Structures are given as structure tokens and as C-alpha cells.
Amino acid sequence: MSPPAARDGTTAREAPPLWRQLQLLARLIEGVGAGQSLTRLLDDVPPGLRAGAQALSFEVLRHWGTAQALRGRLAPRRPAPLADALLCSALVLLLPDCAQAYPAFTVVDQAVEAAKREPTLRRQAAFINACLRQYRRDPDGLLAALADDPVARWNHPAWWIERLQADDPEHWAALLAVNQLPASMDLRVNVRRSDVTAYGEQLAQRGIAGMPLGGAALRLRSPHPVHELPGFAEGLVSVQSATAQRAAPLLLDGLGAQPLRVLDACAAPGGKTAHLLELAPHAQVTALELNAERSQRIDQNLQRLGLQAQVRVADAGDPGAWWDGVPFDAILLDAPCSASGIVRRHPDVRWLRRASDIAQLAAAQDRLLQALWPLLAPGGRLLYCTCSVFRAEGAERIAAFAARNTDARQRPAPGHLLPLLPGTGAELGDNGRHDEDGFFYALLHKPAA
């Protein structure tokens, strides 16, 4: 929660006035509206402003459905994208459940100031002022009028809501509600260099509270910049969600300690690649990534951790262009997906995806599964996973694959993990108490000849 702001929007801990933050925020939201990833947009924000910009943009995107519906009632016509982004961002900051604590008069004053100081918005300042003041006169009535609007109520696109209702009639509302909550910050201790108990003690010495979750996972009581984490630069620890940390142990368990040929087929940014190497130091790991820029992230992460893998820029679905013909003992296919299970960490995802994306992604997932299965040695295993809550990207894909490949045997794996609110089914299926992300896992075994 932000500290109270003065009339000019400044606080004791914030140098930039609120009007300047709102200008930056509006640019970020305008970019998301144009289809750009918020993560990429934040990379271009000066480091000193990035944390505040992320907090504000996350809050706005978590309430974008409500804000858009309110703007529709306050303005007869939708304004230009930047003006719309500024107006709707200010409306979010005025909502009663907004986590950013600014007095209402300050939000209105500073939003108008932001418009006046932006040449392309100067003529919209009076319009923005009128809309915000109209909202302030009757916020309860305006919000009550949105009661029958599912997008305004749940802050997800209509197609997303309908798909969840069809996929999981019992838990769809809880899945939507949990996406409004900030995600925890989970760490993965590098077991080649330390262990959870020892690293937890190092955190405690710095005054950082961490809770062990099992395996190599620790959850921080509150997020901290990575430069504050002891030994981060030296490779003692990485940031990775506890649910994502299930992948490497699932794939490697039972394969033995002998040198293994392992393929991480869609590897960027390299968290799972590194985890595989931490658990299997003698493995020969090949990490593929189609995007050259993203492949550099794999190298950077491995270098920080003191690990080595063969990192290649290649299409995993076209083995003829990169495979040397020697089968792999284990294959991890963390397939490109909707990312619908990690909306708490990336709230822009819900507004960037389109209904048509799911069928296109499912076709790509089928293509990758079919292309990689012949590369697996007899007796080997392939772990298919997606960070999605949609069954079209999980159970339906494996059922279709199994129908086409009768030599595939399914081994025990969690299946669909759903990021549910406490008390609403956290023990559902293979969900663990600490699974805050939505994932799907299927482990496929190829019998020895």
C-alpha cells in the first residue's frame, strides 16, 4: 500500500509526483491495450521508477474491466487510447477496493495535472476532470449499475469467464477471484550450493522471513528485490514459483544417477533448465529456444548459477534442423500456452489473449508433442506442462496425443493444478497447499523395446 500523498502527489518515500507517475502509467496501459507485453514495457522504465510503475499498472490491470465499464457510463464516446488509459487508471485509483492509498481529491487533481502537462492530452484535461468528478458524486450508484456486467464484476474478458465456467463449473468463480490477489515471491535454493534450512537462516539474519514449502522451495512473507537476497548474485538462490518447481523433480525422479541426455524443449528464461542441472549435475542438458533474444536469458541465468548447458536457438518442433540423431533419456516440454494460470504474476495476460488464441496454441502444442516423441529413447520419459488453467491446453491435449500414440504410457503426475482461494478447494486433486499458480503436468513413459 502506498503512503498518503500530498496535494502534489509526493510522499516522503516517493520523489516523482503522482501526476508524473500517472503519465507513465497511462503510457504503459496504452501499450498493453495495443497488444504489448507489460513485462517488455516495464523493461524500458528507468530503474528508479520501475517498482512504482509495476505496482500501479498491476492494480489498474486487475480492475480494468470495472474501469472500462465505468468509463462507458461516464463518457458518451470512448476517448483516444492515451486519454482512455489515463482516465481509466485514475478511476481504478478511486475504487473502494484499490490497494493504492491516495486521497480521492489528490487522484482527481493529479490526473488533470497529468493531462495538462502532456501535450497530446492537454485538450482532454477538462473532459477527464468532468468524468472523475461525476464518479465522485455517486460512486456507489455507478458501481451498483455494473452488477449485471460479468466483465466488470470479474475483471476478465467474457470469453475467458465462459471457458472457465465450462471447464470447471464448481470452481470457476474462485479461479477468477484469486487472480485479483498479488502472488507470493517463491525462491528455489540451489541444492548444489546450499539447502533450504541453511539459506533460511541467511534470510533470517537479514531480517527476511521465509517459509519452507518442501523440496528446494521457500516462500517469502513479503517480496524483496533480488539484490537484497543473500547470495543471489553468487547463485545460491533463484526466483521461481513453487508450482513451477514441480517440473524438474517429476521428470528426473526414478531415472537414476547415471549421466542422462536431457532436452528442455522450450527453455527460456531458463529456470527449469537450471533446476534440472541442480538436481542432476552430470546430465547433458540441451536447452532450445525459438526466440534469440529470450535465449540470452537462459545463458545469463546459467552463468549466474555456475551451470552449463548446450543452449541453441531452434524450433523444437523441427528436429531435422537441430537434432543430432541421438535419443534423449528425458524431455521437458514446457509448451507455449495462454499463461492463464499465472495471471496473478502477469495481470496483463487476461487482456492480451483472445478467444481464438486457445485453438492456435493447442495446435502448436500438438505439433511439439508429436515432433518430440520420436526423439525419446525407449525407457525414457517426457514431461508435458503448461502454465494454463484451460483444459484445452492440458488434459485434452494429452488425450488427443495418447489416441495417436499407443506406445505412450502415462505415469502419475499432478494433472491440472488450480490456483484456488483458501477454503475453496485447495486440496482438490493433486493441488498442494502452496500451489498459487495454475499448471498442468502430464508424465509420459516410452516402454523399453
Catalytic residues: 387
The whole-angstrom distance between residue 230's C-alpha and the CA centroid of its chain comes to 24
Distance CA 338, CA 345 (A): 13
Distance in angstroms between the alpha carbons of the first and the last residue of the chain: 60
CA angle 64, 66, 71 (to 5 degrees): 90
Residue 372: name the closest of 418, 339, 405, 419 by CA. Answer: 405
Return the number of other C-beta atoms located less than 10 Å from residue 24's C-beta: 19
The total of other beta-carbon atoms located within 10 Å of residue 181's CB is: 12
Name the nearest CA neighbour of 70 among 1, 161, 137, 16: 137
In sequence order, what DSSP letters do the residues of 323-364 get, joined into one string?
--SPPEEEEEEE-----TT-TTT-TTHHHH--HHHHHHHHHH
Distances 347 to 20, 142, 169 between C-alpha atoms, Å: 22, 25, 23
Burial class (CB in 10 A: 0-12, 13-18, 19+), 347: buried
DSSP-derived letter for residue 421 is P
Q: β-pairing, 217-220 with 210-214?
A: antiparallel
Burial class (CB in 10 A: 0-12, 13-18, 19+), 170: exposed
Q: Do residues 1 and 101 touch, judged by C-beta distance below 8 A? A: yes
Strand 328-334 and strand 261-264: the pairing is parallel
Number of H helices, E strands in the chain: 18, 11
CA distances from 176 to 54, 122, 231, 426 (A): 21, 37, 36, 14
> What are the phi and psi torsion angles at 173 (to 5°)?
-65, -40
Between CA 404 and CA 399, with CA 253 as vertex, the angle to 5 degrees is 20
- Give me the residue label for grid cell 496504452: 30
Q: Please give the C-alpha separations between residue 375 and each of 197, 331, 411, 419, 430, in angstroms, as whole numbers.
A: 39, 9, 19, 33, 29
Question: Cβ neighbours of residue 33 under 8 Å, at least 6 residues apart?
Answer: 81, 84, 85, 351
